Amino acid sequence: MIMSVPYKTYLEESQLPKAWYNLRADMKTDHRPILNPATLQPVTVDDLSHVFCTKLAEQELNNTDRYIEIPEPVRDFYRMYRPSPLVRAYFLEQALDTPAKIYYKYEGGNTSGSHKLNSAIAQAYYAKEQGLKGVTTETGAGQWGTALAMACGFFGLDLRVYMVKCSAQQKPYRKAVMETYGANVIASPSDTTEVGRKMLAEYPDSTGSLGTAISEAVEDATTHEGYRYVLGSVLNQVLLHQSVIGLEAKAAMDMLDEYPDTVIGCAGGGSNLGGLMCAYMADKLKGKSAPKFIAVEPASCPSLTRGKFAYDFCDTGKVTPLAKMYTLGSGFIPSSNHAGGLRYHGMSPILSQLYHDGYIDEARAVEQTKVFEAAKLFAKVEGTLPAPESSHAIRVAIDEALRCKETGEKKTILFGLTGTGYFDMAAYMAYNAGTMSDYVPTDEDLARGLKNLPKID
Amino acid sequence: MIMSVPYKTYLEESQLPKAWYNLRADMKTDHRPILNPATLQPVTVDDLSHVFCTKLAEQELNNTDRYIEIPEPVRDFYRMYRPSPLVRAYFLEQALDTPAKIYYKYEGGNTSGSHKLNSAIAQAYYAKEQGLKGVTTETGAGQWGTALAMACGFFGLDLRVYMVKCSAQQKPYRKAVMETYGANVIASPSDTTEVGRKMLAEYPDSTGSLGTAISEAVEDATTHEGYRYVLGSVLNQVLLHQSVIGLEAKAAMDMLDEYPDTVIGCAGGGSNLGGLMCAYMADKLKGKSAPKFIAVEPASCPSLTRGKFAYDFCDTGKVTPLAKMYTLGSGFIPSSNHAGGLRYHGMSPILSQLYHDGYIDEARAVEQTKVFEAAKLFAKVEGTLPAPESSHAIRVAIDEALRCKETGEKKTILFGLTGTGYFDMAAYMAYNAGTMSDYVPTDEDLARGLKNLPKID
């Protein structure tokens, strides 16, 4: 096969970004302030510092510094698994017989199996630097918990992960990976917190929920000296750390003299898409010509395509601050779509604002079996077995490439392959067996979730 | 941290090997001929062609061509996951506080999770080129089966994998990966072969063995028009294909102006060590100064350290040809050591000969809990969760580096990190729980295995 550019392009380690890019500094309209739920006033660094590390609280509210230096120990750690490769999907192009050029940025080549490590190591570093004993978090599917376990293991920080009980039972191996890195994994609801004990007293057979796990992790952190709570998506600080994806991707594309016509990412909380698109979004915010940006979400949890742009809690337990974002309502219970990382009722406030203002051109909801169809084709021709989350982006990249085949356009498509599906084989088994369903919520389902939104303008 | 060379070194794709290196062409003493078990005469290409693809049968017996061209479609596929990185283990060095420099060649960055893909894609290619419908194989732990499923999926070849029944039951996710790539996974013993039906009639509750699975796969291939049998280790052809590891490793070390003092690899069937060391072994065979070569095996299955150099069957079912190799006897049943890939009674005839002739300097047997202790330290400081097999090499690399700490020597150590442990978490769980045992066979155990060796000089 004639390969005009390398199949994989790696930056030199000396070309790795030395600073994260803070998209907010360039946004025409900043996202609406995050509100303290008790006072309904904008949260301050001081408010947030009780829950988050101080440096991270500052990053959360920073909308002025365009670049924020990546601390040297974080850059050292990044060298273990970064730069991640920019891949020209020659074999996928061939299989589709498309004139389009398809590139993807592959973030799954580390043991956490996803891009989550980019923010986990940063958050662990700031906790260490602040002299904390440890951090707490929650995890559903387990990717974030694994990434954080690796990061805390590296810096010698204590970590307590509240893992949704049914996940902990269904995924004992994910739990084992976290424990191997030294994390303490607690099935939620647990008897170690007030919230957990109350839940267990009321529902002794509860298999848990992400909402309860968040509440437990926050309570644990705020009631123990020397601990803070950390979170793997949605937050501005997480999008900031994930900017390494987009900065690297653009640098590698520049080396190849390529500029994408279309940038595609899956969107659950929004951190991966926010990271991937940031360097090109900078062009758009400056009024230059820029790619078309497409956010892809599951049809079963369609916050951008069918949600409301409104203030809402970031968690189902209603203990977190309020953010203005696209939401299905914090009470919305997504169906058991297998892409656990995309089952979130809301969306990053930054991405929500950009979508609302038309900077993100399109949001597209895709059905699960179509996603796995794309995932299997991708695995077969490009080798890597993709995560269900990432496969949402693959689906749309394929659809765009097939459209080019019809029109004859030679578009350049860039998408984010955020992770691998090695711990998601139950979902593949359901697809292979033909038992996977394409549940899409009805308008009535959505109305139920949206009717209790807080009344804040 | 000051990093004098990059943490990871990648060759350019243009520097990828265009030919495999056939170590046999340079050996002073070739290994003794492989014998047809029916006639006890050296096997011919014709003999082997009934079981293997013809090109592979030729490679198996080729001891004259120093280089064998890698077919272009195989080189194209290699570009999906090769070059694999040569990593300077700065963080491990720091953790050990050693003056030694530690490098490792990382082969786990593909979905099969190991180096097995290097030979799988070559064998699938030759089957395709020969116009075959498909191939059969057996798999125990599942890495080889996964690699071959990827390779056959890529070339559109039919694949039937006989998976030891207890493995298929214990590792449903491994099975699911293979099926996702289109393989037909059959729990062995099965009712699809004569051998399997006989076994089931006699032992209806049998959970299978690698010996039976091999016999089933061979029977299946030889009784179906357009099928051949393929195997993932031990064979000369497999060592040939795995030479890409060593050729790349040496090219990358050369770029860094480094030459190892010590080369370390785990050895089960021998394909990974054979591949890693080949380029440096070439120096030794030419009489130049060369590294010390150390083969590492589990104390529970010590073929090199406690076996006999003798003719033996390559399988427990005694259907394969006879090879002169270090063996514990084809009837030796290794204990349930978790490094499934190292539970083999014999050893590659090439490596056996090199060890017998003193070209491989040392074989070292290590106990399982020491291996997992090393694996956990490695995971924590270097990020990647290693396969149990690879962790045997990590153990010895650490021991060598600690020895340097004592003596103050600044040795350069190179070891093979053959794969990841993501599908081996049951073993890590046993280690974490303190329930892992360090079984070492007694002399009586070994005598039982060795007493029935064929009487061939």
The predicted-structure confidence for A29-51, as pLDDT tens digits, reads as follows: 999 999 999 999 999 999 999 99
pLDDT at A210 over 90: no
Place of tokens 């060369």: B290
d(CA B393, CA B397): 6
d(CA A160, CA A163): 9
**This prediction's pTM:** 0.96
The predicted model gives B182-210 an average pLDDT of 93
d(CA B113, CA B423): 9
Which residues of chain A make contact with B181, given a CB cutoff of 8 A?
379-380
Scan residues 160-189 of A and list those with Cβ closer than 8 Å to B: 172-173, 176-177, 179-182
Partner-chain contact A383 B110, CB within 8 Å: yes
pLDDT at B336 over 80: no
Q: Which residue has the higher pLDDT, B403 or A142?
A: B403
CB atoms within 10 A of CB B302: 20
Scan residues 418-437 of B and list those with Cβ closer than 8 Å to A: 420, 422-423, 425-426, 428-429, 432
The predicted model gives B146-164 an average pLDDT of 97
> Percent of chain A at pLDDT above 70?
100
Of A79, A179, A380, the CB nearest to B154: A380
d(CA B449, CA B457): 18
The predicted model gives B323-331 an average pLDDT of 94
d(CA B229, CA B222): 8
Place of tokens 């595609």: A264
Q: How far is CA B66 from CA B78, B87, B355, in A?
A: 21, 28, 20
The predicted model gives B448-453 an average pLDDT of 91
The confidence score (pLDDT) of residue A337 equals: 66
CA distance A432 to chain B (A): 7
Helix A349-356 crosses helix A271-285 at what angle (to 10 degrees)? 40
Burial class, A38, CB count within 10 angstroms (exposed 0-12 / middle 13-18 / buried 19+): exposed
Which residues of chain B make contact with A75, given a CB cutoff of 8 A?
none
Q: Would you report the helix, strand and coil content of chain B in percent, each value rounded to 5? A: 45, 15, 40
d(CA B85, CA B107): 8
Partner-chain contact B428 A384, CB within 8 Å: no
The predicted model gives B44-53 an average pLDDT of 96
* Chain B residue with minimum CA distance to A89: B80
Q: Which residue has the higher pLDDT, A155 or B140?
A: A155
The confidence score (pLDDT) of residue B332 equals: 86
Q: Which are the contacts of B53, defined by CB distance < 8 A and separation ≥ 6?
A: B123, B126, B127, B130, B132, B228, B230
pLDDT tens, residue by residue, A9-35: 999 999 999 999 999 999 999 999 999
Which residues of chain B make contact with A177, given a CB cutoff of 8 A?
385, 422, 425, 428
pLDDT at A340 over 80: no
The predicted model gives B90-118 an average pLDDT of 97
CA dihedral B301, B306, B312, B318 (to 10 degrees): -30
The predicted model gives B389-416 an average pLDDT of 98
A94 touches chain B (CB under 8 A): no
d(CA A149, CA B121): 35
The confidence score (pLDDT) of residue B186 equals: 97
The predicted model gives A140-154 an average pLDDT of 94
Q: Which helix (H) or strand (E) holds B352?
A: helix B349-356
Partner-chain contact A385 B177, CB within 8 Å: yes
Q: Please give the order of strands across the beta sheet that includes A262-266.
A: A8-9, A86-88, A101-106, A412-417, A262-266, A292-298, A362-366
The confidence score (pLDDT) of residue A91 equals: 98
Partner-chain contact B385 A432, CB within 8 Å: no
The predicted model gives A426-442 an average pLDDT of 92
B337 pLDDT tier (thresholds 50, 70, 90): low
The predicted model gives B99-126 an average pLDDT of 97
Partner-chain contact A383 B181, CB within 8 Å: no
pLDDT at B340 over 90: no
d(CA B353, CA B357): 6
B94 touches chain A (CB under 8 A): no
Tell me the residue type at B134.
Answer: G
Q: How far is CA A360 from CA A156, A267, A350, A355, in A?
A: 40, 12, 11, 5
Q: In whole numbers, what is the pLDDT of chain A averaged over residues?
A: 95
**A67-69 vs A19-21, strand pairing mode:** antiparallel
pLDDT at A312 over 90: yes
**A101-106 vs A412-417, strand pairing mode:** parallel
d(CA A80, CA B94): 14
pLDDT tens, residue by residue, A295-307: 999 999 999 999 9
* Chain A residue with minimum CA distance to B181: A380
The answer to whether B73 touches B23, Cβ cutoff 8 Å, is: no
Burial class, B318, CB count within 10 angstroms (exposed 0-12 / middle 13-18 / buried 19+): middle
pLDDT at A206 over 90: no
The number of C-beta contacts closer than 8 angstroms across A and B is 127
B8 touches chain A (CB under 8 A): yes
Quote the tokens at residue A358: 């038309």
CA distance B225 to chain A (A): 26
CA distance B78 to chain A (A): 10
pLDDT at A335 over 80: no
CB atoms within 10 A of CB B451: 9
The answer to whether B324 touches B307, Cβ cutoff 8 Å, is: no
Burial class, B72, CB count within 10 angstroms (exposed 0-12 / middle 13-18 / buried 19+): exposed
Q: Is the peptide bond before B189 cis (omega within 30 degrees of 0)?
A: yes
d(CA A51, CA B339): 43
Q: Would you report the helix, strand and coil content of chain A in percent, each value rounded to 5? A: 45, 15, 40
pLDDT tens, residue by residue, A435-450: 998 889 999 999 998 9
